[in-house]
Amino acid sequence: AFGTTLDSDELQAIQRFKPGSRLLDIGCGTGREALALAQLGHQVTALDISPAMLNAAQRNAEREGLKVCFVLAAPDEFDAPPNSFDGVYVSPEVYSYTPGRRRRIEVLRRIRSFLTDDGALLLFQSVASRCLLGRSLLVDLLRRIARRTGSHDVSEPGDGWTSEGTYGLAFKHFFFSARELHSEILESGFRVENVVGSCRICRPTDR
């Protein structure tokens, strides 16, 4: 059963939503979270950038007899009217695949625009650790120096590449502190209400 594929942190985070809530799953992949949410009684819209992933997710939904609206779109392309969703679920690590601090903040602002007044953002994003004498620390130091001297074409500290997940080699921004992640959330117009494992449960600051 797909409902049992959610881990304890995910289950705890989504308990705030009543059955029948309109939820958006960003970065659904083959549908693990989207189908679990639908099985728990929610109205789910799920988006992903990969046609192959969406096709697999659709087949999984049909096999389980679950109704999910699948959309082919990147997080910064998807749009919806205000009050369209009671909650937005950003699947684990998906947020970090968007390049550029400014662009990530714009994604969160876009999400904020179509949440209901009492809606919540569930942002599943881990914070990485690194060795104090490691190569990445030196690289990021050189990046900061270059950007402060006007070389803005240099990639941002924390930027890198990963082959984890289901998308092959892909860009990933590594957050090395919760402070950095929370500053992007705050600048976008959200506040972190609670932290459950890797999930930041966020509410709009003006609501």
What pLDDT was estimated at residue 70? 98
* CB neighbours of residue 165 within 10 Å: 15
Give me 55's structure tokens: 């096709």
Q: Where are the alpha helices (DSSP H) in the chain?
A: 8-14, 32-39, 51-64, 101-113, 135-148, 178-187
How confident is the chain (207 residues) per 10-residue block, as mean pLDDT?
A: 76 94 97 95 97 96 96 95 97 94 96 96 90 52 57 71 72 92 98 96 92
What pLDDT was estimated at residue 133? 53
What pLDDT was estimated at residue 134? 52
Kindly report the pTM of this predicted structure.
0.86
Whether 67 contacts 119, CB under 8 Å: no
